[in-house]
Amino acid sequence: MSSTDEHRSPTGGVERLLAAALDTRRKSKLCWVTTVGVNGEPHARVVSPIPSTPQDDEWVVWFLTSKASRKASEIARDPRLTLGYQHEPDSAYVSLNGRAILVDDRAELSRRWNPGWNAVFPTGAQDLDAVFVKVEVEHIELWNLAMKVTPAPFGKCAAVLQRVGTGQWHQVG
């Protein structure tokens, strides 16, 4: 379904689904990131996404990690990953699937650096072990009972959006 078909969507259309997904993300301080392990098994752990800057694409998610971490080595080997957010008061979750890129550019780290991270990376943005993960979201699945965007019957299926390149989102489920 293209964004021009929004009026036929039982959940309110592409823009409403995107708004619900963003709402859940913004209400969730932490999210789960799942990477693909060496043997193809999933590895999940909690990360703290970095708030977007005004010039950021809202469907690019950033977080900080150690260059020496298992997470970084798994992303370098297989960039596919999933980010999962949940906001229980809204009976809402959003799952973002995409491709991750390890960003080791010191200028970018300096631009986005939070001084609170110095507790883990003592030399700040110049710490050579610090690396950003940039996730370019290609696929979204969500439930949100409070915003009434989940297909009926609630709990049996999620609303699903797919993005082609950096282009428009299309509802596919």
The per-residue pLDDT for range 86-132, each reduced to its tens digit, is: 999 988 999 999 999 999 999 999 999 999 999 999 999 999 999 99
Q: What pLDDT was estimated at residue 154? A: 67
Q: How many CA atoms lie within 13 A of 118 on its CB side?
A: 8
Distance CA 94, CA 30 (A): 12
Query: What domains sit in the chain, N to C, each tagged with a CATH number?
Result: 3-171 (2.30.110.10)
- Reduced to 3 states, what is the DSSP secondary structure of residue 15? helix
Question: pTM for this structure?
Answer: 0.88
Q: What pLDDT was estimated at residue 164? A: 81
Contacts of 12 by beta carbon, 8 Å cutoff, 6+ apart:
6, 148, 149
**How crowded is residue 61: how many other Cβ atoms within 10 Å of its Cβ?**
25
- Tokens read off for 66: 């150690």
- Name residues of the chain where pLDDT drops below 70: 1-12, 153-155, 166
